[in-house]
Amino acid sequence: MTELLERAITAIKTLPTDAQDAIAARLLSEIEDEREWNIRFMATTDSQWDNLANRVRTSIANKKTRPLDEIFTVKEPNEIECN
C-alpha cells in the first residue's frame, strides 16, 4: 500500500461511519469501473481502433464535430464555486 493511500485511510477512519461507508462505496465503484474499462480496452482489436479512427477522421472532414470549448465551458478561477 502506498503512503498516500495509508494517509487517506487514516483520515477516513476519523470520519463518522456513514461518511466512511460513502467513501468506501465510491472507491469500490471506481475500482470496478476501472476493471471493466481495462477489460474492454484489452478486448478491442487493432482493426476496431483503426475503424474508430477512420470514423473520427471522416466526421472531422465532413465538419460533423464541435469544438470542445462549445461542450466544456472553461470557467475563470473567480467563477468557480467552492462548497
Q: What is the predicted pLDDT for the residue at 70?
A: 84
The span from the CA of 55 to the CA of 26, in Å, is: 34
User: pLDDT digits over 7-58, tens only?
Assistant: 999 999 999 999 999 999 999 999 999 999 999 999 999 999 999 999 999 9
Q: What is the predicted pLDDT for the residue at 24?
A: 97
Question: Domains of the chain: which residue ranges?
Answer: 3-79
Got the DSSP string for 10-61?
A: HHHHTS-HHHHHHHHHHHHHHHHHHHHHHHHHHH--HHHHHHHHHHHHHHHH
Q: What is the predicted pLDDT for the residue at 83?
A: 59
User: pLDDT digits over 55-80, tens only?
Assistant: 999 999 999 998 888 888 877 777 76
The C-alpha cell at 56 is 473520427
